Amino acid sequence: GAGVSQSPSNKVTEKGKDVELRCDPISGHTALYWYRQRLGQGLEFLIYFQGNSAPDKSGLPSDRFSAERTGESVSTLTIQRTQQEDSAVYLCASSQTVQPQHFGDGTRLSIL
Amino acid sequence: TQLLEQSPQFLSIQEGENLTVYCNSSSVFSSLQWYRQEPGEGPVLLVTVVTGGEVKKLKRLTFQFGDARKDSSLHITAAQPGDTGLYLCAGVSGSSNTGKLIFGQGTTLQVKP
């Protein structure tokens, strides 16, 4: 597709379960970012990939959060043992260099 | 830690009114971006300002970057209901080579017909 694609668009899960969120960046974009957005708020940086490496993981809030990228393409953000405070929209962005970033529509995660 | 303070957080105005949104920091940014976000969608880039003192116009929207590259403003003239949405400012750290964006808290704008 022409844009950044994220799946699922919505995810509802029970507290304590693990979840995987997927991001398909724009083809050829080497930089990939994950952000978290709480309701009505700005975005918080989580992690940055350049190719398949993650030189900046400084925004991951705890060791329950991890991410990987393969083939310089698809990225997966995994949250283990989900907590209610993890409820948010998780947004992925990609770029050819570092700017400008093109955002997907996000995955809305709800923890019951 | 770099922070961007965005104000006001909420703004409800009548069609035809003017408004200004502010974005302030104690830190220097190499560039600053403004985004607009609709419900259920990702942010869409409106403009990037790079040079201190820079002013950019996009139809009824005017963007300014402060001389010291620590603050920015978005001014909308004669707001229309179609301008309703969440407006976000985001800065790129002057010392960062990762391009990660530091976002303000956002301004929710409602323009009533």
Contact A97 B99 (CB under 8 A): yes
Domain count, chain A: 1
- CATH for the B5-112 domain, from 2.60.40.10, 1.10.760.10, 1.10.357.10, 3.90.850.10: 2.60.40.10
pLDDT band at A1 (very low <50, low <70, confident <90, very high): low
Q: Which residue has the higher pLDDT, B39 or A90?
A: A90
Q: Which residues have CB under 8 Å from A63's CB, separation 6+?
A: none
Domain span at A15: 5-111
Task: State percent of chain A over pLDDT 90.
Answer: 88
Distance in Å, alpha carbon of A91 to nearest chain B alpha carbon: 7
pLDDT(A19) > 60: yes
pLDDT band at A88 (very low <50, low <70, confident <90, very high): very high
Residues A69-87 have a mean pLDDT of 96
pLDDT band of residue B51 (cuts 50, 70, 90) is very high
pLDDT at B41: 94
CATH number at A14 reads 2.60.40.10
Contact B31, B47 (CB under 8 A): no
What whole-number distance in Å separates Cα of residue A7 and Cα of residue B92?
Answer: 27
Cβ–Cβ gap A42/B33 under 8 Å = no
Question: Is there a contact between B98 and A4 if contact means CB atoms under 8 Å apart?
Answer: no
Interface contact A105, partner B, CB < 8 A: yes
Cβ <8 Å between A41 and B44: no
Average pLDDT over every residue of B69-81: 96
Q: Are strands A107-111 and A10-13 parallel, antiparallel or unpaired?
A: parallel
Element (H, E) at B112: strand B107-112
Q: Are B93 and B30 in contact (CB under 8 A)?
A: yes
- Surface of A (27-86) touching B: CB under 8 A: 31, 33, 35, 40-45, 48, 50, 55-56, 59
- Do A90 and A98 touch, CB atoms closer than 8 A? no
Amino acid in position B68: A
Confidence tier at A91 by pLDDT (50, 70, 90): very high
Q: Could you give the CA distance from residue A101 to residue B74 in angstroms, rounded to a whole number?
A: 20
Question: Is residue A90 within 8 angstroms of chain B, CB to CB?
Answer: no
Q: Locate A110 and state its tokens.
A: 């709800």
Instruction: Compare all CA atoms of chain B with the CA of A91 and give the residue at the minimum distance.
Output: B42
Q: What is the DSSP letter of B14?
A: E
Averaged pLDDT, A27-31: 93
Proportion of chain A in helix, strand, coil states, percent, rounded to 5: 5, 50, 45
The first and second tokens of residue B8, run together, are 């006001």
Name the residue among B86, B98, B104 with its Cβ closest to that of A55. Answer: B98
